[in-house]
Homo-oligomer: A and B are copies of this chain.
Amino acid sequence: MNSAPLVASPVSKSDSDPVKSPAVQAMILASGRPMPLDSGAVLGPFTLAYETYGLLNDSKTNAILVCHALTGDQYAASAHPLTGRPGWWSTLIGPGKPVDTDRYFVICTNVIGGCMGSSGPRELNPATGQPWGLNFPVITIADMVRAQVLLLDALGIDKLFAVLGGSMGGMQALEWATSYPERVFAAIPIATAARHSSQNIAFHEVGRQAIMADPDWAAGSYHTAGRNPSRGLAVARMAAHVTYLSETALHRKFGRNLQDRIAVTYGFDADFQVESYLRHQGSTFVDRFDANSYLYITRAMDYFDLAAEHGGQLANAFASSPVRFLLVSFTSDWLFPTPESRAIVKALTAGSASVSFVEIETDKGHDAFLLDEPELFRIVKGFLDGCAEQYGLAARSTAQQADRKAARPRRGIRADLKLIADMVRPGSRALDVGSGDGSLLEHLVHDKDVDGRGLELDPDGVHLSLAHGLAVIQGDANTDLAEYADGAFDYVILSKTLQAMRDPRAVLEHLLRIGHHAVVSFENYGHWRTRLSLMLRGRSPIDRERAYRWWESYNIHPCTIADFLDLTKALDIEIEETVVLGPVGRVVKSVRPKSLANLFGEQAVFLLKRRRQTT
């Protein structure tokens, strides 16, 4: 590991019962060794302020690094020394909470460039004894992570169990997972992007220009000059704050409500509550944040571009990544909108990495990751639980183990899914499209050693799968199959879903583009009962399993076995095997089903292969 002189020294320590409520430790890492930066400059010696929560286990395998966003700091789960308010992620991190400090050792650092104790433009330049101001070197997200790596070295932690963060914290998590993949087991980048978008650079530039337009900024040397560009910084914060929310959230919170008045005043006071709120956000921010730090940290975000770091291809960044990823985005986040997360998911998928993804429905905007969002908590907890089991992290107490067992009994598998599973070669790579609660996937992974992935629309199914340690992407087979690379899997499975697709032909084409084989099952619309219903009763048949009427059927493109064969012919698909389930569970296996199968078969399962290789 690193042999540089590193000193991790306690700043203060407050704990009650270290077992029931693990110690909160506020520490500073003082690195005597200069650290080279992306800019070519060298920073050193430097300091890194951090807090830890919980206890590091003997094997040092239970460490989770939490990374903060633009205006956050190391006070993730303890009261902020300046504002007195609870830590910014104290809802997520703590004993018994999703990031459980009874189980994990949680570390949170103030990024370099920040203003809460780590080296940054407000701190003294050791060379001059004066505040750095604009002489502080411009830093990048990678530089922030480099400093964190040195801290881990000092703490003797070889590998993080997990790294997680939202927004700029998510950028750090991505940087960790791609630059130090061997030192991270699992990564949870939330509400983030692999590169800062043009629009986000534009908003940052507005904020920087607001600060620099303030005469009190004094070309960055306001500390020396005894001034403070508080008006400019407040405007920057106000502009940024609007982007953290959503129109719906603002409408719900404030609408056009007036502030302590019954009519507008026909003037420029804060008539509206939203104006008053924004002004408050601006004026309180300047009490806790440094204007130059704002410049430096926004710049680091602007410069972040993971693809550019890896030859222009985002997929390269994740090639053969051993890290398990969970990406989370929020529907109303327009600063880091879902397509940004999906781009990362796509790149990870192309690189065959293990990735789960959930888009959470909320109107809270970008800020949702900081708020009390039960869905986020449930997902993070489920994913961490699943990963902990795979990483061999024991639950802390036997009570927890019992809880866990009760919550996650090993599940059985339906007979028709068993037929599908039988067609999949052990040890292969498989994608289950419409993976539901993950029971087929779990069977494939645990009993057939398959490297399995899922795609599922229903959030509950995704959550359940994550909690079982499965890698599942929340998405719609109608639209999201295009995200998968050619030949990424040995098998792609579509179970009782084809008829519910808007474009069954396109879906089938995708299955055989993505997989070398496809396994497709459906209910046979050519069954004699269906035929008789239409022939004699003049009525569309009622779905037997679910008793749906014609107007509520999810099968919007019903097909018979003969119909399906027509489609495979039209697409020049080779049928390798067919299994038809007849009455009283009778199973007929063949390569190509006969017309009797179309009359008596209730369900059919096909193993398919591309006749010609897609180039």
Decide if B539 touches A526 in the complex (CB within 8 Å).
Answer: yes
A137 at the interface (CB under 8 A from B): yes
Report the minimal beta-carbon distance from A503 to chain B, rounded to whole angstroms. Answer: 7
Report the minimal beta-carbon distance from A412 to chain B, rounded to whole angstroms. Answer: 33
Q: A206-B278, A550-B559, A559-B550 are in contact. Are A215 and B215 (CB under 8 A)?
A: yes
Residue from B209, B264, B531, B537 in contact with A534 in the complex, judged by beta carbons closer than 8 Å: B531
Which of A279, A334, A539 counts the most B-chain CB atoms under 10 A from its CB? A539
Decide if B334 touches A209 in the complex (CB within 8 Å).
Answer: no
Decide if A202 touches B275 in the complex (CB within 8 Å).
Answer: yes
Interface positions of A from 232 to 252, Cβ below 8 Å from B: 232, 234-235, 238-239, 242, 245-247, 250-251
Q: Mark A556-569, 1 if CB is under 8 A from B, else 0.
A: 11111111001100
Report the minimal beta-carbon distance from A602 to chain B, rounded to whole angstroms. Answer: 14
Report the minimal beta-carbon distance from A348 to chain B, rounded to whole angstroms. Answer: 21
Decide if A598 touches B538 in the complex (CB within 8 Å).
Answer: yes
Residue from B239, B334, B525 in contact with A239 in the complex, judged by beta carbons closer than 8 Å: B239
- Report the nearest B residue to A265, measured CB to CB: B138
The SS class assigned to the A binding surface is: helix
A305 at the interface (CB under 8 A from B): yes
Decide if A278 touches B205 in the complex (CB within 8 Å).
Answer: yes
| Among A3-11, A45-53, A295-303, the stretch in contact with B | A295-303
Decide if B538 touches A560 in the complex (CB within 8 Å).
Answer: yes
Chain B residue contacts of A561, Cβ below 8 A: 538
Decide if A503 touches B551 in the complex (CB within 8 Å).
Answer: yes
Interface positions of A from 33 to 54, Cβ below 8 Å from B: 38-41
Complex: A250 Cα to B205 Cα, angstroms:
14
A203 at the interface (CB under 8 A from B): yes
Decide if A535 touches B531 in the complex (CB within 8 Å).
Answer: yes
Decide if B537 touches A566 in the complex (CB within 8 Å).
Answer: no
Chain B residue contacts of A246, Cβ below 8 A: 199
Decide if B201 touches A275 in the complex (CB within 8 Å).
Answer: yes
Chain B residue contacts of A503, Cβ below 8 A: 551-552
Report the minimal beta-carbon distance from A363 to chain B, rounded to whole angstroms. Answer: 12
Interface positions of A from 302 to 349, Cβ below 8 Å from B: 302-303, 305, 308, 334, 337
Decide if B538 touches A534 in the complex (CB within 8 Å).
Answer: no
A479 at the interface (CB under 8 A from B): no
A377 at the interface (CB under 8 A from B): no
Decide if B197 touches A210 in the complex (CB within 8 Å).
Answer: no
Complex: A247 Cα to B196 Cα, angstroms:
11
| Among A109-117, A122-130, A266-274, A604-612, the stretch in contact with B | A266-274
- Report the nearest B residue to A220, measured CB to CB: B268
Q: Mark A183-220, 1 if CB is under 8 A from B, else 0.
A: 00000000000011111011101101110111100000
7 smallest A-B Cβ distances: which pairs? Answer: A556-B556, A39-B266, A213-B231, A138-B266, A198-B250, A526-B538, A504-B551
The 22 listed contacts between A and B (C-beta, < 8 Å) are A40-B266, A41-B266, A138-B267, A197-B250, A198-B272, A202-B238, A203-B242, A206-B278, A208-B268, A209-B282, A210-B235, A213-B213, A213-B214, A213-B234, A526-B539, A538-B595, A538-B599, A539-B560, A539-B566, A540-B559, A549-B566, A551-B559
